[in-house]
Amino acid sequence: MSDSKKHKIFLLPENHSISSDTGQSLIEALNRAGILLQSDCGGSGRCGKCQVRIIDAEEKADYRPDEAEQRLIARQDLRHGIRLACRLKIKSDLTAEIPADSRFIPEVVAKPATHELISKALAARKPASVPSEGYGLAVDLGTTTIGIYLCNLAQKKVVVSIAVRNPQAMLGADVITRISAVMQDPRNLPRLQQMSVGAIKAAIRSICATTHINPGKISQMIVVGNSSMIHLVLGEDPSSIGVSPYQPKFTRERNVEAHDVGLNFNPTMKIYSPPLISGFLGSDILSAAFATRFFDTPPGTLLVDMGTNGELMLKGNKGIIATSCATGPAFEGSNIHNGMQAAPGAVDAVRLDKHSGEIELSIIQRDRGRTVKPSGICGSGIVSIVAELIRSGVVLGSGAFNPECKYPGLRFDNRRPTEFIIASGQSTATGRELTIIQKDIRAIQLAKSALSSGIQLICEKAGIKRPKNILLAGAFGNYLDLEDCCTIGLLAGVHSQDIKVVGNAAGAGAVLMMYDETSGAELKKLVRLVKIFNLSANSEFQDTFIKNLNFQIGFK
């Protein structure tokens, strides 16, 4: 970022050029131009999916493959100019070919619970006026994943729903790292904004081409997300959220036009961003509460919006309390050795036969009539694997691999277990083994401890022992086996029969806001009623977090 010189990148087969700053990665330059590549690792050079071919470059010596590329790309392919777009830093003009397999093509992602929630809520709501034509966008702007719903306004239905990785992960897996990037270099603010906006533009262009819908007919967009993500997409500096007292620059609802943020497929499209609660409680938990009619739930109901940031809203006997806890991106398949988002090819559940050692994989399918080989492991798959390894004795309650276990698939190094093989290279789409390493298990431990500790402490704050029931929101929950949750102690020992999966309620709420003219007033009322419980300032959090690190087998 220190050198502002621009370089020209000629793309094939597009046969047109884009520009890039010196030192910018190729994948980021493509994203800014609305061209998305496959990437399940946030641009860290671990998944090997963003392959491109460098045909010509002014200074070829400047484009030698790094260690990650040498590990993930065959030598013969390296000799033919194949590189990883996330690792290739632009230093001169060049010509690059983008293979079809490297392109990200947004696909419909199965969210049955979410669509059911939307359908039921729409049937129950009677808006004063319904648009006679046109389309709207509901966007759930997550730290790791962006959920997008294209809606037919007149027919009151979701035409298509998709999920894409948030490319901001290239500057950090969590909001604090991204805020720090802005604080260290103000030029990272427009950079981060362009990343999220570029992902939305590319996704919309793709689904409009698939559905034959004119993007110019998209007249409105409602975007929800945590406070940092909303600041970034609107181009507002989030730095104040990163330092005490962690106050956002604004909390009021915002109304802007598309051209203000760079969404040029319809510059006059109206964008509405609902109010925020605090620096770490955004419009996403408000939207989820709106979709689930949280006002009408009985006392003891806990709404859990699970993602990179776990947000909790509890209806106690004396009011509503909300808090947030940093669970990290593991639940969304990010920062995991073989992690990927919940898309076709992702392992979403695993079962081990204790006697034969055979492994049965459940894989998200694009087409039920055609078998898809596994290419990675999504968040629910990671939880499923860890739960099965605990039940089988492969992983101890401490989270360490069991050195006394001789279970098939457990790989040792100097008599110490180091990883567990889920699938051989011959059976995967990538040709590489799918494995779980110790670091993956530790990531799940940290995430589950943060969430379960938050649940315990918010209940103590409300004067109740445990939630009477949990509404589990977030796309992650669509594929989650509740018994797996109980095995690892994810939801603080709440029984599976007291947990209801409601899907991506934040996205569902954003859809409903398009049709319900009372939504603004209801959201503002909820903001006024919510009492903020700051976990980071709670003296008991650290001790509770440490106590909850061990995996819980069954209920206490």
Helix axes 112-124, 505-513, angle to 10 degrees: 30
DSSP conformation class of 89: B
Q: Return the pLDDT at 315.
A: 95
Q: Cα–Cα distance between 206 and 212 in angstroms, integer?
A: 10
Structure-token pair, residue 505: 């309620």
Query: Considering Cα of 244, then 248, then 249, then 251, what sign does the dihedral take?
Result: negative
Check residue 550 and report its DSSP letter. Answer: S
Where is pLDDT greater, at 1 or 257? 257
| Torsion sign over Cα 69, 71, 76, 79 | positive
Considering the chain, what percentage of its residues have pLDDT values greater than 90?
52
Q: Which of 146, 240, 273 lies closest to 199 in space, CA to CA? A: 146
What value does the mean pLDDT take over residues 63-92?
90
- Give the C-alpha separation, 42 to 59, whole Å: 27
Name 351's Cβ contacts closer than 8 Å, sequence gap at least 6: 359, 360, 362, 388
Look at phi and psi of residue 509 and say left if phi exceeds 0, alpha if psi is from -120 to 50, else beta. alpha
**What DSSP character marks residue 468?**
S
Secondary structure (3-state) at 181 = helix
Instruction: Tell me how many degrees the CA angle 385-388-393 measures, rounded to the nearest 5.
Output: 125
| Amino acid in position 84 | L
CATH architecture, domain 6-102: Roll (3.10)
How many CB atoms lie under 10 A from the CB of residue 379? 32
pLDDT(108) > 50: no
Handedness of CA 85, 208, 146, 265 (dihedral sign): positive
Three-class SS of 226-292: CHHHHHHHCCCCCHHHHCCCCCCCCCCCEEEEHHHHCCCCCCCCEEEECCCCCCCCCHHHHHHHHHC
- Residue 554 pLDDT: 37
Q: In what order do the strands lie in the sheet with 416-423?
A: 410-413, 416-423, 434-437
Among 191-200, 354-363, 381-390, name the one with the lowest average pLDDT: 354-363
Task: Name the phi and psi angles at 193, rounded to 5.
Answer: -60, -45
Domain ranges of the chain: 6-102, 112-283
Taking 90 as the threshold, does the pLDDT of residue 197 lie above it?
yes
pLDDT at 1 over 70: no
> In this structure, how many other beta carbons lie within 10 angstroms of the beta carbon of residue 202?
23
In total, the chain counts a number of residues equal to 556
348 closest CA partner among 366, 365, 371: 365
Judge contact between 63 and 9, C-beta under 8 A: no
CB 149 within 8 A of CB 138: yes
C-beta neighbour count of 256 within 10 angstroms: 17
Is residue 407 very low, low, confident or very high in pLDDT (cuts 50, 70, 90)? Answer: confident
Query: What tens digit of pLDDT does each residue of 255-310 get?
Result: 999 999 999 889 999 999 999 999 999 999 999 999 999 988 999 999 999 888 89
What's the CA gap between 238 and 231, in Å, rounded?
Answer: 6
Nearest to 407 by CA among 385, 427, 428: 385
Which of 5-9, 228-232, 494-498 has the highest mean predicted lDDT (pLDDT)? Answer: 228-232
Name the one residue in this structure whose structure tokens are 């621009």: 6
Residue 553 has pLDDT above 50, yes or no: no
Q: Which residues pair with 146 in a beta bridge?
A: 141, 164
Classify the C-alpha dihedral 29-32-34-38 as positive or negative: positive
* Contact predicate 304/310, CB 8 Å: yes
Work out the number of other CB atoms within 10 angstroms of the CB of residue 342: 22
Specify the CATH architecture of the domain 112-283.
Answer: 2-Layer Sandwich (3.30)
Query: What is the rounded distance in angstroms from the CA atom of residue 204 to the CA atom of residue 161?
Result: 11
Asked whether the beta carbons of 421 and 409 are under 8 A apart, the reply is yes
Which residue in this structure is represented by tokens 């409601």?
A: 502
130: pLDDT strictly greater than 60: no
Say what the pLDDT of residue 59 is.
60
In the beta sheet, which residues pair with residue 376? Answer: 346
Between these two residues, 480 and 253, which has the higher pLDDT value? Answer: 253
Average pLDDT over residues 364-373: 76
Q: What's the helix, strand, coil split of the chain in %, to 5? A: 35, 25, 40
Place of tokens 């990538």: 430
pLDDT value of position 129:
58
What's the Cα-to-Cα distance from 433 to each of 197, 430, 437, rounded to whole Å?
34, 8, 12
Residues 6 or more apart in contact with residue 273 via CB below 8 angstroms: 222, 223, 224, 230, 234, 253, 254, 255, 256, 283
Mean pLDDT for the chain?
87
The pLDDT value recorded for residue 114 is 62
Burial label for 187, CB within 10 Å (0-12, 13-18, 19+), is middle
Q: What is the pLDDT of residue 110?
A: 42
- Pairing state of beta strands 499-503 and 469-473? parallel
Mark out the alpha helices in 85-187 (DSSP H runs). Answer: 112-124, 175-184
pLDDT for 145-171, tens place per residue?
A: 899 999 998 888 888 888 888 888 888
Residue 223 has what pLDDT? 98
The pLDDT score that the predictor gives to residue 107 is 54
End-to-end CA distance of the chain: 53
pLDDT band of 516, cuts 50, 70, 90: confident
Tokens of 544: 């509770």
